[in-house]
Structure 1
Amino acid sequence: MTPPSPVYVCGPTASGKSSLAIQLAQKLDGEIVNADAYQLYRGIEILSAAPTEEEKSKVPHHLYGVLAANEVCDAMSFREMALPVIESIILKGKTPIVTGGSGMYLKFLTHGPSPVPSSAPGLRAELEGRSDSSLIEHLQKLDPEGAAVTNLQNRRYVIRALEICLLSGKKMSTIKSDWKKTSSETEKHLRGVYLLWDREQLRQRINQRATWMLNHGAIDEVRNLAGASTTCEKAIGIPQIKAMLSGELNREECEERIAAATRQYAKRQRTWFGKETWLNTRHVSETQPPQLDEFANQWLEG
């Protein structure tokens, strides 16, 4: 018998991912694994729109509230936390339902870390001190194919391309080509759904969520938050509520800034997930909410 493979439920904030994940887990005898960067943290359940205790009682949920506010996390740390959890669910013969809107976290989980090396401050400083012509000539010598598809008028692009070549000892074009092939092979075995909402309806849902958060404990969450890490501090709502508590904003201004920041985040999520072509896009709206329709049933069971 083939072990069950994970199902990924992706989409922007306020798109109904949690509800759909529960439906899928109930149908597939599955367990839910969190892939939202901020729902990993304890103490900001309202701010991060984490599942309620009632929702979590319906099916097993994993990786919710597992980090203290002062702990730092990144995509690689998340991958190292999530993989053993997913494996343990599969070993029980159950289906992992991975859900969240943190694109980079999900990318690291599904595809692994990119082979492109990170920036090195010393090398970057050395390259920054060189002339444009010197940089271009060097890149054309090391990676003519890569240089041909790089905007040589953009100094930042040229420096980054050179940095990749010098740090890896390989052509940038070769690294990216190999990674694309590996990713294409990986994606043949992935299954997931992306919830694509009507923009105006999602905007309204986000505005309503901002109001609900402030009325149901988000202010107290921020007031009681102490020693938050740089990761946790990035959660939408924390800087805005802190500004309100210090008197810089009134409540109405705070609510609007939370809603605006969330809408901007949702726009970035839409762009990110729109590029993940392995995801099965499902158009949803208030009259057609996320649900297990006939097509999804055939896809998930096939």
Structure 2
Amino acid sequence: MLIAGPTASGKSALAIALAHERGGVVVNADAMQVYRELRILTARPSEEDEAQVPHRLYGHVSGSSTYSVARWLADATTEIEAVWRSGRVPIITGGTGLYFKALEQGLADIPLIPPDITEKWRAAKGDLHAELAKRDEGAAARLNPNDRQRIIRALEVFEGTGRPLDYWQRAAQSQAALADTEVERIFLNPDRKVLYKRADERFARMVKEGGVEEVKALLALGLDTGKPLMKAIGVREIAAFLSGWRGLDDAIEAGQTATRQYIKRQLTWWRNQMQGWDERRA
């Protein structure tokens, strides 16, 4: 079972309820909840929640690491197979769309593209969509002529491997962790105003119930600011408060704004990925 949706949509509560009902194990599919240092600000399930039903892949990675989609897919596949062997139901839950995509479609094992080919197409001018159509009609038909980044990638792959991008994608999908598996997919999508209100209230509550202390401890580790965990919503805003650059109320408001912007990005991404998902408002 897959449960996805934007932040603050109620995914964790639903996953726990269904785990009770179906004898399930909740497997994390949220890119920030894998890190151990920020339980509160990343809205990881509480210790009480984790005591109710088994949870996997929550807080198991150090913030000093850079945890990739490939690493998550390997870890998730191991956990899912272990849950199946135990006779229980894996309930994969989170808001990171690329994790779900990798789980169902695999990760294309594309050979390394020679640097000169990469540089050639990234520096190319003119109508690259027309260039792609000459080489890979299928990719050109699927891609928006204005989607320059994906067009360049398709051109790189075709020239660098001699095969179209969808060849590699089909090969990956045939080996995907959930290939040939019957999957129930639930996408939680509450009314936008309701969702924003929940998100605003939750962020304010997280800050006041330990978020400041979490960020203070995180900053004390001296992690590189480029690490993914350092980009978690709330870290930059609370760090500004701790440095005296802004007041606490201002930091909370900034974090709430960042959360709403993140929700918009999540929903935009999912809008084109919803085929086969059961969309629920509550």
When normalised by structure 1's length, the TM-score is 0.80
> Which AA in structure 2 matches 1:13?
T
Of the three residues 94, 101, 115, the one matched with 1:100 is 94
Whole-angstrom CA distance in 2 between matches of 1:238 and 1:282: 31
Give the RMSD, CA atoms, in angstroms: 2.9
Query: Does 97-106 or 146-155 show the bigger shift?
Result: 146-155
Indicate the residue corresponding to 1:257 in structure 2.
254
Partner deviation per Cα, 1:109-154 (whole Å, 9 max, x = no partner):
2221146678765423223444426x67754543345446656577
Paired residues for 1:79-158 under 5 Å: 79-114=73-108, 121-132=115-126, 139-147=132-140, 156=149, 158=151
1:102 offset after TM fit, Å?
1.0
For 1:21, the equivalent position in structure 2 comes to 15
Which residue is equivalent to 2:59? 65
Q: CA deviation at 1:218?
A: 0.6
If you compute each CA radius of gyration, which structure gives the higher value, 1 or 2? 1
Q: Which residue of 1 aligns with 2:153?
A: 160
Q: Give the aligned residue type for 1:123.
A: I
In the alignment, residue 273 of structure 1 is paired with which amino acid?
W
Aligned to 1:33: 27
Matched, 1:215 2:212: no
Separation (CA, whole Å) in 2 of partners of 1:157 and 1:175:
15
**Alignment correspondent of 2:279:** 281
Per-residue deviation, 1:178: 7.7
Give me the identity figure in percent: 35
User: 1:240 and 2:234 equivalent?
Assistant: no
Cα gap change, 1:153 to 1:39, in 2 (>3 Å)? closer
- 1:226-281 CA-to-partner distances (Å, cap 9, x unmatched) read 14461211211111111221222221221111111111111222223332312211
Letter in 1 for 2:236: P
- Other-structure match for 1:4: none
1:277-300 residue CA offsets vs partner (Å, 9 max, x unmatched) = 12211122xxxxxxxxxxxxxxxx
Partner of residue 189, structure 1: 182
Cα separation, 2, equivalents of 1:149 and 1:100: 28
> How far did residue 70 of structure 1 move?
0.7
Partner amino acid, structure 2, of 1:192: R
Could you tell me which runs of 5 or more consecutive residues in structure 2 were left unpaired when the two chains were aligned: none
Cα contact 2:29–2:92 (8 A) shared by 1: yes
Q: Distance in 2 between matches of 1:120 and 1:13?
A: 39
Compute the displacement of 1:216 (Å): 0.5
Alpha carbons of structure 1 residues 120 and 256: separation in structure 2 relative to 1, 3 Å? farther
Q: Is the 8 A contact 1:70 1:227 kept in 2?
A: no
Structure 1 segments unaligned to the other structure (5+ residues):
1-6, 285-302
- Residues 236 and 117 (structure 1 numbering): CA distance in 2 closer, same or farther, change over 3 Å? farther
Q: Is the contact made by 2:105 and 2:172 (CA closer than 8 Å) also made in structure 1? A: no
Deviation string, structure 1 residues 87-127 (Cα, Å, up to 9, x no partner): 11110101111111111112212221146678765423223
Q: Contact 1:74 / 1:105 at 8 angstroms: preserved in 2?
A: no
Residues 79 and 105 of structure 1 are in contact (CA less than 8 Å); yes or no, is this contact kept in structure 2? yes
Question: 2:106, 2:175 within 8 Å by CA — same for their partners in 1?
Answer: no
Instruction: Give the letter aligned to residue 77 of structure 1.
Output: R
What residue is the counterpart of 1:300 in the other structure?
none
